[in-house]
């Protein structure tokens, strides 16, 4: 299958739920929840929600696997298994892309060429880094210190719905490479791709090294479990705060990759072709369901009308439709709740004085009548204090804001609770460098918004966008802790206290 070939329906009427010890572990009386297809609103699959007992069993099983098997493997052995896992993922890329397109709503084309490709590449990348976690020897005279890096043990990885294969791999791959075992908890709106990935990767990993739990209560049960020694979370800032409060009870270390309200600044000397193309990708890729979405487009007053006209024309050309249709650029929102939330923000923006200057066309196919659609929309006359300019919308609503000076642009860009990304469009390299230093964000794009090439560079934000860094070599150190072992060196007597008289 290629990204433009007709879809071959993957059967989803099968067991989905808790995965531990190398297989599915159904519970007789466990509650269940439906996963619906965003493009049609129809049920795709039923998933067994993990009870507190199931979560405890998954964590205990992962701890056993850590103690008896995984921590005893060498980095080279782990690397070999992870390369095998990457190969298994690549071999099932078509199937995984279709599942993701059907449960998330995104174009299958994007799922195949970005999400699944990244997923397998991340396993290969961290496999290649597994042997780089070398310790060190520190000579301090009569004492020699041996510093070694050890895994935490069980890692809880809690994922959002928007890029399931990417979040799965960027959390589990470095944790596994560092020698930890992992319990994955996918988002309830779109758990199937992650659960299938767990099943596939377990073809090569020892049982219990990678387990999974699903459902609305699984996250809190995971974060409160005292056997979990490390948490890695991606999701909304408010949910992240709840995770941290739960983790605090056991003093569990956590990485938080949270929300964003990112600004793209179009300077007065910008190449308008670059500005429009970059804004279209930054704003509307993945239906705007992205913490990295450039939801605020800051345009110098001298270019404002030109940008609005050209950006609006490009937004109208985006094809909204079923993710399985190769012509589709914008899919449906992941569920009805997300659709209504985004539409609510649109109404709020209009109430506060913004105006719609461009809007895409929704699909007319009767089969898609009950889908969770939101047309790509351009809001003009947005001011920095409006709700739509301050809160994360997580949908295809672009807010265009006028500014007069660089100082004003920087103040607007930095004037939210978030600090994940920012972008600068200018022909002047020195202006870009100067602005980049002033922007409060973990990642800065200049004359591009190529977020599909993060692997190998640090991903993470500041302020309300969280802390910790993913996707890079340094991420391995997020999943290990240093142990200091000190020996007499033989280079002289070890000083004692009190001094001998």
pLDDT at 9: 67
119 is catalytic: no
pLDDT reading at 6 higher than 50? no
Which of 46, 51, 54 is CA-nearest to residue 21?
A: 54
pLDDT level of residue 1 (50, 70, 90 thresholds) = very low
Q: How far apart are CA 233 and CA 231, in angstroms?
A: 6
Superfamily of domain 263-453 in the CATH hierarchy:
Aldehyde Dehydrogenase; Chain A, domain 2 (3.40.309.10)
Domain ranges of the chain: 28-258, 263-453
Contact 24, 15 (CB under 8 A): yes
How many angstroms separate the Cα of 419 from the Cα of each of 77, 84, 155, 257, 403? 39, 37, 26, 11, 20
Quick one: which H or E segment has residue 445? strand 443-446
pTM for this prediction: 0.95
Q: What is the pLDDT of residues 219-262, one digit of tens each?
A: 999 999 999 999 999 999 999 999 999 999 999 999 999 999 99
Architecture of domain 28-258: 3-Layer(aba) Sandwich (3.40)
CA 206 centroid distance within chain: 26
Strand, coil or helix: what is 154? Answer: strand
E strands, 128-266, in order = 136-140, 143-151, 154-158, 181-185, 210-212, 228-234, 253-257, 263-266
pLDDT reading at 468 higher than 50? yes
pLDDT at 140: 87
Kindly name the residue from 257, 289, 392, 478 that is annotated as catalytic: 257
Q: What is the pLDDT of residues 286-298, one digit of tens each?
A: 999 999 999 999 9
Mean pLDDT of the chain: 96
State the residue for tokens 């020996």: 487
Query: Across residues 275-296, what is the average pLDDT?
Result: 98
Reading the block at residue 414, the tokens are 């930095």
| Cα-based angle 150, 152, 153 (whole degrees, multiple of 5) | 115
427 is catalytic: no
Q: What is the pLDDT of residues 130-146, one digit of tens each?
A: 999 989 999 989 999 99
Residues whose CB falls within 8 Å of the CB of residue 365, separated by 6 or more in sequence, listed in order = 321, 322
pLDDT at 13: 87
Q: How far apart are CA 365 and CA 376, in angstroms?
A: 18
Kindly name the residue from 37, 188, 289, 291 that is annotated as catalytic: 291
């Amino acid at each position: 299958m290629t990204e433009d070939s007709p879809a071959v329906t993957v059967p989803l009427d099968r067991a989905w739920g808790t995965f531990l010890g190398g297989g599915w572990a159904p519970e007789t009386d466990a509650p269940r929840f439906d996963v619906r297809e965003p493009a049609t609103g129809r049920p795709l699959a039923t998933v067994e929600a993990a009870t507190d007992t199931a979560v405890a069993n998954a964590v205990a099983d992962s701890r056993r696997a850590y103690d008896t098997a995984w921590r005893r493997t060498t980095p080279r052995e782990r690397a070999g298994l992870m390369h095998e896992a990457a190969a298994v993922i690549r071999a099932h890329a078509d199937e995984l892309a279709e599942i993701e397109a059907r449960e998330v709503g995104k174009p299958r084309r994007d799922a195949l060429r970005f999400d699944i490709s990244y997923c397998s590449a991340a396993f290969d990348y961290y496999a290649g880094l597994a042997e780089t976690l070398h310790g060190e020897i520190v000579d301090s005279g009569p004492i020699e210190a041996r510093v070694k890096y050890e895994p935490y043990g069980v890692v809880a990885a809690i994922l959002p719905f928007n890029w399931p294969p990417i979040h799965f791999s960027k959390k589990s791959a470095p944790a596994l490479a560092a020698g930890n075992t992992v319990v994955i908890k996918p988002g309830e709106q779109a758990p199937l791709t992650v659960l299938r990935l767990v099943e596939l990767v377990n073809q090569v990993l020892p049982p219990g090294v990678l387990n999974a739990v699903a459902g609305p209560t699984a996250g809190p049960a995971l974060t409160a479990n005292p056997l979990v020694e490390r948490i890695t979370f991606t999701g909304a800032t408010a949910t992240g705060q709840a995770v941290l409060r739960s983790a605090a009870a056991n003093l569990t270390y956590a990485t938080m990759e949270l929300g964003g309200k990112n600004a793209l600044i179009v300077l007065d000397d910008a190449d308008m072709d670059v500005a429009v193309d970059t804004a279209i990708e930054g704003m509307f890729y993945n239906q705007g369901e992205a913490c990295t979405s450039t939801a605020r487009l800051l345009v110098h007053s001298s270019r404002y009308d030109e940008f609005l006209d050209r950006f609006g024309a490009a937004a109208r050309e985006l094809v909204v439709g079923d993710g399985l249709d190769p012509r589709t650029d914008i899919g449906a929102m992941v569920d009805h709740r997300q659709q209504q939330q985004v539409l609510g923000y649109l109404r709020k923006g209009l109430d506060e004085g913004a105006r719609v200057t461009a809007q895409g066309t929704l699909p007319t196919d009767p089969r898609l009548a009950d889908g969770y659609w939101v047309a790509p929309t351009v809001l003009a006359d947005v001011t920095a204090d409006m709700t739509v300019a301050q809160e994360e919308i997580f949908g295809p609503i672009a807010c265009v804001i006028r500014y007069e000076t660089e100082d004003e642009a920087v103040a607007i860009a930095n004037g939210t609770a978030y600090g994940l990304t920012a972008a600068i469009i200018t022909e002047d390299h020195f202006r870009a460098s100067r602005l980049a230093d002033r922007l409060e964000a973990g990642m800065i794009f200049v004359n591009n918004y190529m977020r599909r090439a993060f692997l190998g560079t640090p991903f993470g934000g500041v302020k309300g966008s969280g802390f910790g860094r993913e996707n890079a070599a340094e991420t391995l150190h997020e999943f290990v802790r240093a142990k200091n072992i000190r020996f007499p060196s033989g280079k002289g007597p070890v000083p004692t206290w009190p001094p001998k008289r």
